[in-house]
Amino acid sequence: MYIRNMWSYEFEKAKKVQAGTLLLAEPFMFDENFRRTVVLVCSYHEEEGVVGLILNKPINLRLNDVVEGFPPFKSKIYLGGPVGTDTLQFIHSLGDEIEGTVKLNEHLYWGGNFEQMRSLMNAGKVKEGDVRFYLGYSGWSYGQLQDELKDNSWIISRATYQHIFQSDINTLWKSVMQGMGGVYQTMAGYPENPTLN
């Protein structure tokens, strides 16, 4: 399709995928799991594959609906992906206050000691703007993601603290695309169904 080839794989692969980058679904992706999603890459290894969390799929559940022992938490939980939906993942900005966390960039961290997070929240030391919780995750083998990148299924961008904690989740895909400028700003206006164009 012409529109899908408006940006080249050679250009995209020059932007290296690594932990802390974003994968944006190409405008006309038909996979229901990933249509118009923004995925934060949390782990990226040739041997172990790729783990990411979908940032913009809130579900109608609260933290206390899925796990006990936490204080009331107003923020919704998000669907991190179709894999391991019986697991709870979290992204936070607390840094080394949480043991075993993985630093994604200067202000973003993935996971860590879950009981320590629970204790800090119960002690009132964690604000709702400090952490997001996700049911499940998105996973690829290294080769699988490389093939999808060659097929132009994903657009690579840089993740920021604002994307996770301060953006309107309902318009996140469009706003990140617009922020990239150029052809991506144009692509942000494409309808989901190309037959409506």
| pLDDT tens-digit map of 40-49 | 999 999 889 9
Q: How far apart are CA 63 and CA 66, in angstroms?
A: 6
Q: How far apart are CA 159 and CA 188, in angstroms?
A: 17
Q: Where are the domains of the chain?
A: 3-196
pLDDT at 196: 57
Tokens of 196: 């409506």
Query: One-letter amino acid identity for 103?
Result: K
Q: Report residue 51: phi and psi, to 5°.
A: -120, 135
pLDDT at 55: 97
State whether CATH 3.40.1740.10 applies to domain 3-196.
yes
Q: What is the pLDDT of residues 65-89, one digit of tens each?
A: 999 999 988 888 999 999 999 999 9
C-alpha distance across the termini of the chain, in Å: 14
CB 163 within 8 A of CB 172: yes
Higher pLDDT, 30 or 1: 30
pLDDT at 51: 97
